[in-house]
A and B are shown apart, each in its own frame.
Chain A
Amino acid sequence: MELQLQNLSKQYGEKRAVQRLNARLTPGVYGLLGANGAGKTTLMRMICGLLKPTSGAILLNEAAMEELGEQYYTHLGYMPQDFGFYPEFTGREFMLYMAAVKGLDKKRAKSRSQKLFSMVNLQEAADKKIKTYSGGMKQRLGIAQAVLNNPAILILDEPTAGLDPKERVSFRNLISQLSRNRIVILSTHIVSDVSCIADTILMMKQGRLLLQEPMDTVTDSIRGKVWEVLVSERQAVEYSRRFPIVNLHHEKGKVRLRMVSETMPAAEGRAAEPDLEDLFLYHFGNQTQEEMEDVDPI
């Protein structure tokens, strides 16, 4: 199974949401990282046939998706970033309906949805109307419908958004259980969501694929560029203006800063082992810095 993206572009009027994107994806978990507006959702919607690419092609095993038609969609499972349900349906009715749209026969639809209900821990709520579900329950129903047809390609667009930390952990485990032998593309801007389950990291910035690296080697490019310093609060403000700050920790009147920089930022700096978060910040530093200052003004 190989999913190939060839020179894929999408333009909304003047706005280039995805630009000449190329990739060959084989089974494995792909963590798709990118800041808000990087084009992750646009890319995924094109793969799902919901948006028509302005140019370029999507191929499954060398065959164009438009030509495959139903054949292509048989292999697809999609959990959108924003989606709705039929509030008057029960969870079970919804699953059986989706199973029918996905072409499962009645018997398989029943057994498969029963199995998935217990997997996503919704067996108790299965016969309640969806309008009574909490956000987390809807999210779990969303992933359950995505894998109903046992898809070879599973597209998850920010599946953990809006979940509390406990649910987020169990959701991550669920995804990793569901990921075997499939092409899974999981988008997020929360690095910790993918750092333990992704095999490959895809990073998008302003519509372009910035980087496609195996998880083990992805941070190699910034090895030796991550630093930690212990400074006074006044100095911390100074540093945060000049460098992308990954982390900051108050320690007895002083502040421990973790930052990414080509060269050692200060004599007292200490090189640190790079992780995915550092990498993300290295690439999206300017954008995220403002957000951090908003949250925690020093």
Chain B
Amino acid sequence: MLIQYELLKLLRKKFTLILMAVSLALTAFLFGLPVMQYQIYDENGVIKGMEGIRYEKEQAVKLPTFLTEEYIAKTVHQVQGLFQNPHNVGYDGNEQFLIGEAYWKYIAPRENLLNTIAKAYDNPGEHSGYNKLADIDAAEGAKFYQAAESKREALLEDPARRMTAQQKAYWSSMAAKVSTPLKYGYYQGWETLISSFELLMFAILSICIVIAPVFAGEYQAGTDALILPAKYGKTKLVTAKIRSAFLFGALAFTLHIIIAFGILLTTFGTDGWELPLQAANMTIPYDFTFLQAALAGLGVLYLILFAAISLTLLLSSKMKTPYLVLPVLAAVLFVPMFLTPDGTTGIYNQLLFLLPYRAAMPELGKYISYQFGSLVLDAFAARTFLYVILTVIMLPFARRSFKKHQAA
């Protein structure tokens, strides 16, 4: 009953509707960009946008379903064969690559796949393309999964990461669960989606701006003097206000998600949802499909939203007008955007990966972990803990400071 009226207060304001419309439009634009800017090449040149996506999906039909050792060995031999014919090979003074029909016919249609394979043979710090395959000793089979595991181990052992034995064990046992041979296919939509989460921070900010008046708006309008002396003014009404803020936030955010993901998944297609993340990069330790990873990332995003709403309510209960909430919130949500990590270890980096903007990025292949005693948490778990705790601890303070507000 009270919730309905509190929601009505939010929704009756023109400002709410305008801001939500702007924010939805911005989200649609940001998530439309990867579609509009999408480009792929065939021998005749570049193919852009939807046409490019359609072309890539056509090519993807020919991709293998499973990356077996035999398939990889065959592929590596094939690429090596192509490099043996000097007519096929170009050189830019730095590295060799295939040209002409050899490239367009055998490489281009499955370049992502070849890159995924090639990267498994890299040393830490290298980022090779398909031409790496020319240098692999595959006389006795490709030993692809073994190479991938060695690379993963090398990454964990890298002294710059300063990982404890428990952390290494944590990641290794997680990676060991990934089943082989790997299922492969087209996953462009999901990959784009998973790398775009942080763009939804604007939606979170807009939603918090709408919610900012929940308490401060009453102080500003002078309605606090009417509702606080009413029977439920300091009890049920406060609960209703908090609930309506979360309800509005969850619904409005879901609307943004539907628009954002809808755009990506209708244009790139939902294909690939059941593929393992390792199809994109073998060093990713998570035993997740693309869909599972997207949901985990989305879960964290909702928790960031809820913590931001809690913070907004706390600020709103303390400040005289809703306008003062905005700068604080914008700073909290976006300042981390300008702080760049200089690695994955050390307090600075570890904290940075927990701050709102960075925490929105799943960082699947970075082995970000937190250790408390013998307990190791990965980024998802640490963020979940942190944001649930933040959401919960700020609310009683908001409640209290509204109740104690001196309407003078």
CA distance A80 to B1 in the complex (A): 25
Shortest distance in angstroms between B71's beta carbon and chain A's nearest beta carbon? 65
Contacts A70-B232, A88-B12, A149-B231 hold; do A100 and B2 have CB atoms under 8 A apart? yes
B-binding segment of A47-55, A185-193, A258-266: A47-55
From B2, B13, B226, B404, residue with most partner A Cβ within 10 Å? B226
Shortest distance in angstroms between B13's beta carbon and chain A's nearest beta carbon? 6
Contacts A78-B225, A101-B227, A101-B233 hold; do A45 and B5 have CB atoms under 8 A apart? no
Q: Which of B197-239 contact A (CB under 8 A)?
A: 221-235, 237
Q: Does A225 contact B (CB under 8 A)?
A: no
A101 touches B2 (CB 8 A): yes
Contact of A52 among B9, B235, B406 (CB under 8 A): B406
Q: Does B337 contact A (CB under 8 A)?
A: no
Which residues of chain B have C-beta atoms less than 8 A from A106's C-beta? 1
Which residues of chain A have C-beta atoms less than 8 A from B233's C-beta? 73, 101
Q: Does B407 contact A (CB under 8 A)?
A: yes
Which residues of chain B have C-beta atoms less than 8 A from A139's C-beta? none
Shortest distance in angstroms between A138's beta carbon and chain B's nearest beta carbon? 11
Q: Does A113 contact B (CB under 8 A)?
A: no
A80 touches B9 (CB 8 A): no
CA distance A74 to B369 in the complex (A): 53
Q: Which of B368-406 contact A (CB under 8 A)?
A: 404, 406
Q: Does A102 contact B (CB under 8 A)?
A: yes
Contact with B along A246-267 (1 / 0, CB 8 A): 0000000000000000000000
DSSP class of B's interface residues: helix, strand, loop or mixed? Answer: loop
Contacts A100-B5, A106-B1 hold; do A45 and B408 have CB atoms under 8 A apart? yes
A73 touches B226 (CB 8 A): no
Which residues of chain B have C-beta atoms less than 8 A from A93's C-beta? 5, 8
CA distance A103 to B229 in the complex (A): 12
Shortest distance in angstroms between A93's beta carbon and chain B's nearest beta carbon? 7
CA distance A69 to B230 in the complex (A): 11
Q: Does A98 contact B (CB under 8 A)?
A: yes
From B2, B235, B406, B407, residue with most partner A Cβ within 10 Å? B407
A80 touches B226 (CB 8 A): yes
Q: Does A89 contact B (CB under 8 A)?
A: yes
Contacts A93-B8, A101-B2 hold; do A84 and B231 have CB atoms under 8 A apart? no
Contact of A83 among B222, B230, B234 (CB under 8 A): B222
* A50 nearest CB neighbor, chain B only: B407
Contacts A50-B406, A101-B237 hold; do A86 and B228 have CB atoms under 8 A apart? no
Q: Does A97 contact B (CB under 8 A)?
A: yes
B12 touches A101 (CB 8 A): no
Which residues of chain A have C-beta atoms less than 8 A from B232's C-beta? 70, 100-103
Contacts A50-B228, A100-B5, A103-B232 hold; do A85 and B221 have CB atoms under 8 A apart? yes
B1 touches A51 (CB 8 A): no
Q: Does A76 contact B (CB under 8 A)?
A: yes
Shortest distance in angstroms between B383's beta carbon and chain A's nearest beta carbon? 37
Contact with A along B232-272 (1 / 0, CB 8 A): 11110100000000000000000000000000000000000
B225 touches A80 (CB 8 A): yes
B407 touches A98 (CB 8 A): no
Shortest distance in angstroms between A184's beta carbon and chain B's nearest beta carbon? 15
Shortest distance in angstroms between A83's beta carbon and chain B's nearest beta carbon? 5
CA distance A120 to B33 in the complex (A): 58
A50 touches B9 (CB 8 A): no
From A73, A96, A100, A103, residue with most partner B Cβ within 10 Å? A100
Which residues of chain A have C-beta atoms less than 8 A from B1's C-beta? 100, 106
CA distance A73 to B5 in the complex (A): 21
A86 touches B229 (CB 8 A): no
Shortest distance in angstroms between A130's beta carbon and chain B's nearest beta carbon? 11
Which residues of chain A have C-beta atoms less than 8 A from B234's C-beta? 49, 69, 73
* A86 nearest CB neighbor, chain B only: B9
* A101 nearest CB neighbor, chain B only: B230
Shortest distance in angstroms between A143's beta carbon and chain B's nearest beta carbon? 12
Which residues of chain A have C-beta atoms less than 8 A from B227's C-beta? 98, 101
* A104 nearest CB neighbor, chain B only: B231
Which residues of chain A have C-beta atoms less than 8 A from B2's C-beta? 97, 100-101
CA distance A83 to B9 in the complex (A): 17
* A42 nearest CB neighbor, chain B only: B408
Which residues of A are at the interface with B, using a C-beta cutoff of 8 A?
A: 12, 45, 48-52, 69-70, 73-74, 76, 78, 80, 82-86, 88-89, 93, 96-98, 100-103, 106, 145, 149
Which residues of B are at the interface with A, using a C-beta cutoff of 8 A?
A: 1-2, 5, 8-9, 12-13, 221-235, 237, 404, 406-408
16 new A-B contacts at CB < 8 Å, known A73-B231, A101-B231: A49-B229, A50-B228, A50-B408, A74-B231, A76-B229, A76-B230, A85-B223, A86-B221, A86-B223, A96-B5, A98-B227, A100-B2, A101-B232, A103-B232, A106-B1, A145-B226
27 contacts across the A-B interface (CB closer than 8 A) = A45-B225, A48-B225, A49-B228, A49-B229, A50-B225, A50-B406, A69-B235, A70-B232, A70-B235, A73-B231, A76-B229, A80-B226, A82-B222, A82-B225, A83-B222, A83-B226, A84-B222, A85-B223, A86-B223, A88-B9, A88-B12, A97-B5, A101-B2, A101-B233, A101-B237, A102-B231, A103-B230
